[in-house]
Amino acid sequence: MKNVLISLVVIVTACSSPETKKEAVSVAGFINETTVKAVADTVKATQPAADLNLLEKGVKHAASLWREGDGTPVDFSEFVKENYISDPANRKMVFNKITRYIESLNGNYNEITLDLRKTLDEAIGEIDDIDRMFGNYSVGSHMQSDFYSNKIAFAIALNFPYFTLAEKEELGPKWSRDEWAMARLGDLFIARVPAELEQAVTEATGNSEMYIAEYNIYMGHLRTDDGRQIFPDNMVLLSHWNLRDELKADYADKENGHEKQEMIYKVMERIITQEIPGVFVNSSDYEWAPYSNKVTKGDASIQASAEPDTRYSHIIKNFRTRKEIDAYNPEMNTFILRKFSLEMEISQNEVETLFDSFLSSQQLVKLGSLIKKRLGRNLRPYDIWYDGFKTQSSIPESLLTSKTSGIYPDPAAFHAGMPLMLKKLGWSPERAGYLAEKIIVDPARGSGHAWGAAMKGSLSHLRTRISGEGMDYKGYNIAVHEFGHNVEQTISLYDIDNYMMSGVPNTAFTEANAFIFQSRDLFLLGIKDDNPDKEKMEALDAAWSLMEIMGVGMVDMKVWKWLYGNPEATPAQLKENTIAISVDVWNKYFAPVLGVKDSPILAIYSHMIDAPLYLANYSYGHVIQFQIEEYLKGKDLSDEIDRIYSQGRLTPQQWMMGAVGAKISTQPILNALDKALKSE
């Protein structure tokens, strides 16, 4: 799952109102172009050594953030004259000081946030309202406001201005590491957002995260229409992750797997349409027959109301809190722009074009025919999660769980096993110990996630779900994925030459390393895959998995576009249109591949509720992973991972060029798919 990290770069919103928009528009452009030019000319005259391009860019950027409450145009001019640094050595010294301060702020606020959210994120007891209040409190929500008040923000914007994505792509290849780090410092103050709006986003996000974290389905209480129970008594699955993973595991159950998959699919449909009985969510008090949608308790029928579109209410709240930022950022005036061009540093149009080209490829139709042949039946919508190209699909999950639960009975055991896993992947004992000691393993309340450290000396957290019976295989598979995140988080913090360059270009790149680890989960268990078709199977699996995750990412993007066109939509209207969008995407890309129309299944992903516009990162993660995996063939994995992830936060395309010598592309995976299909 996503890498959660506090940063001074906070892009937030809150419920839209005409008054707020009016205020935001009225304060923009308070310092006019005449003042900007005059003060720049004055500084150039008094400091002739000043770099004219940097000077003009810095003055212009600082002016764009200055408001009437900060002082008069004369005050602004005086501030610039007193604070502009033209001497390169002095500028570097000030930059180093700022970097140390920011690392301290980021790191310590991150530690406070971890502590405040402990009860929400870890399985350590019941949650009540006071836990939610503290856990959803944003400790850094007033930082940007404070930095504008004390003029720190203006000093940084003036001397280390913001470079657009286009400028970074053009100039970045010629920049030194110091120039890159200073440009990243310039990313801290792009738009000026009121602190109360930051807190509103934190609360909306926290509430949606808790809704998802507690969306458990008690599988032992599901019933067929003739009253049969087909899942174990103690099976509790979180939507959508565990439902999907159980569906995948059922391919190995030749006797009852198909019936189980059909029931899980019906449960997913009921969740999407919000026809699921509200009393059944996260409860073992009732029995539910998802086909007939009847609820019973013992022998008595119960009149149970459907969940009241809660799923879509959370999406709307997340949309409206983020939309409020639009008026405060004229250059990036939608959350869609900020999420892609600013945060991912890849335009949304570029993402959608890449997805469309891959999803439309005829190779996928051939791949669907191959899966149909392997299954010996017509394909069903849930076969987007077909798992038959993986070795573990032929191994009963019960055997895998018996192994994982024996090795990892609790979080401490998983932590103790980390150095051995790293050594198996090629790291030296010393390096493996170094990386492992910088990671803490906690019991997760949800499915699990990785939370990175934000300053050197702090530790990353791996949250994993382990029952009293030990870690089952699903939990182990997720934990290995999160372990990959933690290793990246450690390398890209501790092995970076400057703190401002720490991290990766966007979350797709940390997902890539998580996928690299996850794909080796059986190897780490000591289960050897001697299949001579291993490389072919991996190509087939990668292409099918990429199709599935690109589809849900496409739905996510289209839903947000619809919301911007219909900002006053009700939850019921959003539900109707989300289903329509998912069906449209299905019919365009998936129906030709699977041979079945009108499925809404692409709307099941929980990320749409608790991680707005995050899903596209997974697709990019898969693409990047495949390119890196292709590059790693014949090379030392551990050495290359250390090298690649110590590049730091370049732009995505420049990072990829440094990593593998080519830009991001789906062509390598399509080439591998072609080769694999021809050998069938």
Pair 629, 539 in one domain? yes
- CA 521, 523, 527, 530 dihedral sign is positive
Residue-number span of the structural domain to which 303 is assigned: 213-311
pLDDT at 164: 87
One domain for residues 420 and 478: yes
User: What are the structure tokens assigned to 417, written together?
Assistant: 């096993």
455 and 367: one domain? no
Share of the chain above pLDDT 90, in %: 80
Say if residue 297 is in the same domain as residue 382: no
Final residue belonging to a domain, choices 499, 524, 549: 524
Check whether residue 672 and residue 576 sit in a common domain: yes
Task: Single out the residue in 289, 311, 333 at which a domain terminates.
Answer: 311
pTM, two decimals, is 0.77
The enclosing H or E element of 3 equals strand 3-4
Does pLDDT of 232 surpass 60?
Answer: yes
Residues 75 and 188 in one domain: yes
> Over the stretch 432-459, which tens digit does the pLDDT of each residue have?
999 999 999 999 987 789 999 999 999 9
Q: Is 78 part of a structural domain of the chain?
A: yes
Q: What is the DSSP letter of 680?
A: -
42 domain-assigned: yes
Closest CA relative to residue 465, chosen from 445, 440, 482: 445
Give pLDDT tens digits for 79-137. 999 999 999 999 999 999 999 999 999 999 999 999 999 999 988 889 999 999 999 89
Is 365 in the same domain as 433? Answer: no
**Using alpha carbons only, what angle is made at residue 477 by residues 258 and 549, rounded to the nearest 5 degrees?**
65
Q: 317 in a domain, yes or no? A: no
pLDDT tens digits, one per residue of 512-555: 899 899 989 999 999 886 778 888 998 999 999 999 999 999 99
303/492 Cα distance (integer angstroms): 54
162 and 186 in contact (C-beta within 8 Å)? yes
CB-based contacts of 67: which residues, under 8 Å, 6+ apart?
27, 30, 148, 192
My answer on whether 112 and 257 are in the same domain is no
Residue 597, in any domain of the structure:
yes
152 and 301 in a common domain? no
Asked if residue 108 is part of any domain, the answer here is yes
Count of structural domains, the chain: 4
* Residues 98 and 166 both lie in one domain: yes
Task: Taking the CA atoms of 137, 320, 558 and 649 in sequence, report the sign of the dihedral they define.
Answer: negative
Sign, Cα dihedral of 315, 317, 321, 324: positive
d(CA 139, CA 108): 10
**Same domain flag for 69 and 187:** yes
pLDDT above 70 covers a percentage of the chain that reads 95
Task: Let me know if residue 321 belongs to a domain.
Answer: no
**pLDDT of 30 above 90:** no
180, 211, 242 — which closes off a domain?
Answer: 211
Together in a domain, 14 and 139: yes
340: in domain = no
- Indicate whether 605 belongs to any domain: yes
